[in-house]
Amino acid sequence: MNPITHRTVDSNGICIHIAEQGTGPLVLMCHGFPESWYSWRHQMQALADAGYHAVAPDMRGYGQSDRPAGIDQYSLFHLVGDMVGILDALNEKHAVIAGHDWGAPVAWHCALLRPDLFRAVIGLSVPYRPRGSVAPTSVMPQNDDAWFYQLYFQSPGAAEAELEADPRMSLRRILYSGSGDYPRKNPGPATSGVGMVPRSGGFLSRMHEAQKLPSWLSEADLDFYADQFRQSGFRGGLNWYRNIDRNWELTAPYTRAPITVPALYMAGELDLVVAFPRMREVIADLKRYIPQLHETVMLPGCGHWTQQERAAEVNQHMLAFLHAL
């Protein structure tokens, strides 16, 4: 059994920490917010055992990777450039790229912008959404009492202060409240408007404390995440959200452009992303913009943290897709 190894590579002008395991065709895995390479821990061994080279970076702004100071250094073009740079650093000509949460738009756009390098794509939680006709923040829901969490994240400072006050508590609440283990039929803030944050409170005010951690998340797992964010802070990850409108502006040349490589999409039936307005319609229409979409997999009882909550099922579908390429 080959263990997971770690190193830092130069990519796109910054240093990126990568975890890797196995040898063979490259599978590059992009994590989301607020996570790290560690969110792919269950996939790395399975991929290595199946004859693949599994690589999971700490994405720009996270963990042991560099955290550029400028907000404008976190656009999708920077993030795609980082993944291209990793291929160069590894002397690889091609890769299959996978992404979860914010990592999914990175993976989708790697496939969109560089199909010559990324021969297939796997998206978890967040489906590919073609560029809309207006800036995204202009249509995000808000009212006098609450606003969409991505609007709350736009102004630097407030979200950082809230999440960094107690990183372990913040992560414990976020991971539990977003999971399929949270009983959403119970009344409470998390059920009153998907993704909405009360203006009188913060992001965590709609999260819930777990009396007991779910089976897929151990105290040691939580400790790892908390240690990472105590060192890095949350600003780097939050800066991804602060580029949403900039990404919309920059991707104008790719309006209506299809993803032409083979693709797989997976999400939990209880994922709050799936519950966002019009998201199920987007998922149902994926093949329109991804003509080589092999499969859409919806995992019963699974919440947002797809590859952690349902590791065995995700591994099964990923390997079947990879073997079919």
The pLDDT profile of the chain, 325 residues, written as one tens digit per residue, is: 689 999 999 999 999 999 999 999 999 999 999 999 999 999 999 999 999 999 999 999 999 999 999 999 999 999 999 999 999 999 999 999 999 999 999 999 999 999 999 999 999 999 999 999 999 999 999 999 999 999 999 999 999 999 999 999 999 999 999 999 998 754 333 334 789 999 999 999 989 989 899 999 999 999 999 999 999 999 999 999 999 999 999 999 999 999 999 999 999 999 999 999 899 999 999 999 999 999 999 999 999 999 999 999 999 999 999 999 9
Task: Tell me the two tokens of residue 60.
Answer: 């720009």
Q: Which residues form the domain of 193?
A: 5-324
- The total number of structural domains in the chain stands at 1
Residue numbers annotated as active site: 101, 304
Task: Tell me the two tokens of residue 16.
Answer: 């990126």
Task: Tell me the two tokens of residue 10.
Answer: 């130069």
- What whole-number distance in Å separates Cα of residue 226 and Cα of residue 218? 12
- CATH code: domain of residue 241: 3.40.50.1820
